[in-house]
Amino acid sequence: MSDEILNNYVEEDEIDFRELFFVLRRKWWLLITCAIAGAAIALAYTLFLIQPIYTSSSMIYIFSKSTTITSAIDLQIGEQLTVDFEILGKSRPVIEKVISDLELDTTYEDLLETVTVENPKDSRIIKITIENTDPQLACDIANCLADNLAARVAEVIDTDKPSSVESAVPAIIPSSPSKSKNTALGGILGLLLAAAIVLIQYYSDMSIKDEDDVRKYLGMSTLASIPFEKSICAERDGKKSKGHKKRRK
C-alpha cells in the first residue's frame, strides 16, 4: 500500500509538458495581451524615461612621422607602444588636461567612466571613444583627448607627436538605449509573467474535475462518470422561478 501511495506522489511531481502546453494554449489571449502590454511599457520607458547616450570616436597612429618600420624589432616596439598609449590615455594628467581645456564641470573619476581607449586588432591605431548625453560634447571630448594623448606620448617617449588618423564628429543617432531590444525584452518578460500566473493558478487549483484528477490526487479509480447537462439545470431553474412567482401571486 505504501508503495502505491509513493508511486502516486511520484506521478504527481512529474511535469507533463504536454499538459502545460494545453493549459497555456487555453489562455493564449492572456499571454498575447501581456506580451503586447510589456512591449508597450518597455518602449514608453525607453522613449520617455531613459536619457539617450551618444558615442563619438577619434583615432591616432602610434608612430610619429620620424618613426620607420623596417624590421621585426620596430614591429615589436609598436606592439609595446599600443599598450603604453592605452595606459596614458586614461592617466590622470591627460584626463585632467581635457577637463581644464574644455572647462568641464566634472571630476577625473566621472570622466574616466565615459572613456574607452583601445587598439583595434592587427593595427597600429589607438581608438578613443567617448560616451555622453550631449553629442557635441562627446565629439569635443574625443578630439581633445586624442590631441592631449598625442602630446603626452611625445613628452613621455621624447619623440615627435603622433599623427591623427580621424577626428570625431557629433553622432546623429544615439548608441543607447536600443528601442528594439528593450521592446523585445519587455514583450518577453510580459509573456513569461503571464505564463507564470496561469501555471500558478492551475497548480494551485486542487479541486477534482474529472476521473484523471481522482486518479492523480486520490489514487483511486472511477467506476463510471455522469455527464453534466447544463440545459437540464437551466430548465430546472426556470421551473423554480415560475414556482416562486405563483406563490407570490
Q: Model confidence over 117-146: pLDDT tens digits?
A: 998 887 788 999 999 999 999 999 999 999
pLDDT score, position 72: 39
pLDDT score, position 123: 79
Q: Say how many Å lie between the first and final Cα of the chain, rounded.
A: 61
pLDDT score, position 154: 86
pLDDT score, position 92: 95
54-166: CATH, from 3.40.50.920, 3.30.70.270, 3.30.70.1130, 3.30.420.40: 3.30.70.1130
Give, in order, the Cα–Cα distances in Å from 79 to each of 42, 68, 119, 131: 45, 14, 10, 27
Q: Model confidence over 199-217: pLDDT tens digits?
A: 898 878 767 666 666 666 6
Beta-bridge mates of residue 129: 57, 116
Percent of all residues in the chain with a pLDDT value above 90, rounded to a whole number: 50
Q: What residues in the chain have per-residue pLDDT under 50? A: 1-2, 5-6, 9-11, 13, 69-75, 245
Indicate the domain borders of the chain.
1-50+178-205, 54-166, 209-249
* Alpha-carbon span 141 to 129, nearest angstrom: 9
